[in-house]
Chains A and B, each alone.
Chain A
Amino acid sequence: GDQVKQSPSALSLQEGTNSALRCNFSIATTTVQWFLQNPRGSLMNLFYLVPGTKENGRLKSTFNSKESYSTLHIRDAQLEDSGTYFCAAHQGGRALIFGTGTTVSVSP
């Protein structure tokens, strides 16, 4: 089954609006990473999280290890926020386990 489940799978936003993406983990997760993959396929690091919250500009992410989920909030969405957002879970000493992604389309 899905060890890292992302929702929603797709999201359409209007410029200036706010939204949230979520990852649920069915595996023990020590740290979480969030990435944005642009239309050309490059993966950009957004956040690396231990349990807690980080903020960077219009993006804010929380990792709740007790309840096994992480969220990514987009505030005041802009056109350049379009792309596919991936969360990935670290399981102790193992490599990252990726979710299936949320494709975000921001329109004017």
Chain B
Amino acid sequence: GGIITQTPKFLIGQEGQKLTLKCQQNFNHDTMYWYRQDSGKGLRLIYYSITENDLQKGDLSEGYDASREKKSSFSLTVTSAQKNEMAVFLCASSIDRLRGDTQYFGPGTRLLVL
């Protein structure tokens, strides 16, 4: 089995700050994803990457940047944190996006912006 780790677990930022979230997977999966979950709601896709150095926008990409530095890691940057923003950011990975393979999720990073 494999595991997905996300750092940090909790992130408190200031309005206007640039914040970076990191995700590592040891499944050797090709595709990685970043989702945002707001309280009481489902997950929405921010960015995904089908291989190293690839980047694809999801429905919620505005206000975010992402970087797939290597196959095992995928970073997400909040370019300018919004005041009172509170959400959970979930990273996931799967073998193959096109086949719609099972996605495995990390434990999440909880963001609070003061």
Contact = CB atoms under 8 A, between A and B. Distances in A.
Interface stretch (B16-24, B63-71, B73-81, B102-110): B102-110
A95 B74 CA distance: 16
Contact-residue size bin, chain B (C-beta under 8 Å from the other chain)? 20 to 34
A101 B100 contact: no
Contacts of A100: 40-42
A43 B101 CA distance: 16
B12 interface: no
B61 to A, nearest CB: 12
Interface of B: 33, 35, 40-45, 48, 58, 88, 90, 97-98, 100-105, 107-108, 110
Interface of A: 4, 30-31, 33, 35, 40-43, 45, 48, 86, 88, 90, 92-101
B102 A42 contact: no
Nearest to A31: B100
